[in-house]
Amino acid sequence: MPLSTRSLRLLAATASALALTACAAVGPNFKTPEGPKGPPAGGYAMAGDAVAPGVRLSPDARAAGPWWQAFGSPELDGAIRQALADSPTIAEARAALEKAQADARATRGAQFVQVDANASAERERINLQAFGFSGFPGLPPISNPTLNLYQIGGSVSYDLDLFGGKRRATEQANARADSAARQADAAYLTLSGNMAMQAMRIASLRGQMAAVQEIVADDQRVIDIIRKAEAAGGQAHSAVSGGVAQLAEDQALLPPLQRDLDAARHQMALLAGKSPAEWTAPDFDLAKLTAPAEVPVSLPSQLVRNRPDILAAEADLHAATAAIGVAVANQYPDIKLSAVLTQEAIKPGDMFSAGASAWTLLGGVTAPIFHGGTLKAERRAAEADARISLARYQQTVLRAFVQVSDVLSNLGTDQTAIESLRAAESAAQASATDAQNALRLGGGPMMDVVQAQRTLSRARRAVVEAQGRRYSDLVELYAATAADWRTAAR
């Protein structure tokens, strides 16, 4: 084996041994932030908040399958699965994750020995006069020779990373990749939650439209009663005009509802990664949805380990902490080792002869002396950025807890509101029936019928709206507590 090759291998082995004995990486080591400090029961509610029925705090709230299957709707399950497969938002999140992971691998590669090969071929004319050879007296001038030069070789270099700057950079890149993974999780959870919210909105709007259509049918029946009474001489013709006006007023409620329904269906197509012309949202129906009897909710201490946006903020804090180590290491000396082996000859056939070999071994030290305060400023900036990341993490945790508290409080009032509105609907229905019967028998004024119909119309819509709001709150609860979606995404 040629001496030069042995030297290169010896250099690589020596560099690896020195790497193992290098000192610990400078800068602070990352520590997971402390968990939330809450009441002993580990709940979310503020004193005086309404209690959400059917909600159970659990150390492990993971369901057996995707959370939206709790609503018992095959149409919802199919729509969300299609969105998870085809949405550009998910494609973007996946690509961002792949990029972050590739960047992390590239950064990690800089920690290892770097080996490069090179080859060249050149033709050169040498100017002998530049070296003082102009010829001899009495002899013809010496002509400048032209020759070919062939070269092939390789180089090996290694940064000892004595103070761990490259290791901290790798740690930072890995944390950024982890943050990208958590952001991808958040994209999945957000998309599934938004799809379910639009489905509940579609179901609510369709229910409201059905309620209005029932009122319109009742208005038409009242007009028929009035016309019969007019024909019998029991009502003036003006009463018919009042009934027609009420019918037109109730019919005018349908176009805005239809507009909102169309917008919700179009939005659902967008979330599914389709245009409205190529994909039609299912006709969700409140009567076909099943509200789960019990919803397990993670404890606050577990929520911070499950919710993707919190975990992404934690990974960002980790990356910012590692960046401090990079900035600190830049203030210390750096040692680099390198070796170069070259085979060089004028004739290609002579390139691999022993006399054509040349090699260089180099150990270099670079120590910062004066940079105009740049390195210190970069360290202070990294420390400030870590404090920013910590504040963002804390704010993310607080925002998550407030979101869960809000939706739990909303669920606590939803059922009470539905029961009260149903009682009001029953009373309004009885009042409207009595008014219509009185009008039919000639014992009641038309104004009582109109007023009773208006009250009934508002009561029916209010019940449907409250039911839709409760389903939307349940969806938000699942999303806010980072319920499982991974089974469907695999």
The first and second tokens of residue 263, run together, are: 């917008």
Lowest average pLDDT, out of 56-70, 256-270, 353-367, goes to 56-70
Would you say domain 33-113+167-335+376-489 falls under CATH 1.20.1600.10? Answer: yes
Strands 295-298 and 55-58: parallel
The first and second tokens of residue 359, run together, are: 């090699």
CA distance 13 to 420: 80
Helix (H) or strand (E) holding 244: helix 237-251
CA distance 31 to 357: 53
What totals of helices (H) and strands (E) does the chain contain, helices first?
A: 11, 6
Distances (CA, A) of 78 to 195, 239, 272, 480: 11, 51, 10, 22
How confident is residue 12, by pLDDT bands cut at 50, 70 and 90? low
| Stretch 267-292: mean pLDDT | 94
Can you name the residues that pair with 339 across neighbouring β-strands? 156, 361
Sheet strands (E) in 54-173: 55-58, 114-125, 146-159
Lowest average pLDDT, out of 89-98, 125-134, 233-242, 418-427, goes to 233-242
Which residue type occupies 349? G
Can you name the residues that pair with 345 across neighbouring β-strands? 150
Domain layout of the chain by residue ranges: 33-113+167-335+376-489
How confident is residue 21, by pLDDT bands cut at 50, 70 and 90? very low
Tens-place pLDDT, residues 23-55? 679 999 999 998 666 554 558 888 888 888 888
Burial status of residue 428 (CB atoms within 10 A of its CB: 0-12, 13-18, 19 or more): buried
CA distance 202 to 477: 19
CA distance 70 to 253: 33
